[in-house]
């Protein structure tokens, strides 16, 4: 299985989402799937990044 790393661009996109939703930074499954697709990473990676 090929590992996909969080590049600077991917991290910036996730950070942008987080900052724009700071009041409620725990998105639903559909939003996480959309973020994963936009960033080119897995749903699990998005979930872990938001958790940390």
What are 12-35's pLDDT values in tens digits?
999 999 899 888 768 899 999 999
Cα 45 versus chain centre, distance: 7
Let me know if 33 is exposed, middle or buried by CB neighbors in 10 A (0-12, 13-18, 19+). Answer: middle
Count the domains in the chain: 1
Asked if residue 1 belongs to a domain, the reply is no
Average pLDDT over residues 31-48: 94
The reported pTM is 0.80
Distances 1 to 4, 14, 35, 41 between C-alpha atoms, Å: 10, 23, 21, 13
- The domain spanning residue 42 has which CATH number? 1.10.10.60
Asked if residue 38 belongs to a domain, the reply is yes
Distance in angstroms (rounded) separating the CA atoms of residues 30 and 1: 24
């Amino acid at each position: 299985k090929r590992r996909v790393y969080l590049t600077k661009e991917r991290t910036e996109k996730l950070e942008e989402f987080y900052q724009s939703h700071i009041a409620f930074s725990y998105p639903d499954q559909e939003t996480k799937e959309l973020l994963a697709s936009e960033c080119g990473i897995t749903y699990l990676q998005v979930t872990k990044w938001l958790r940390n």
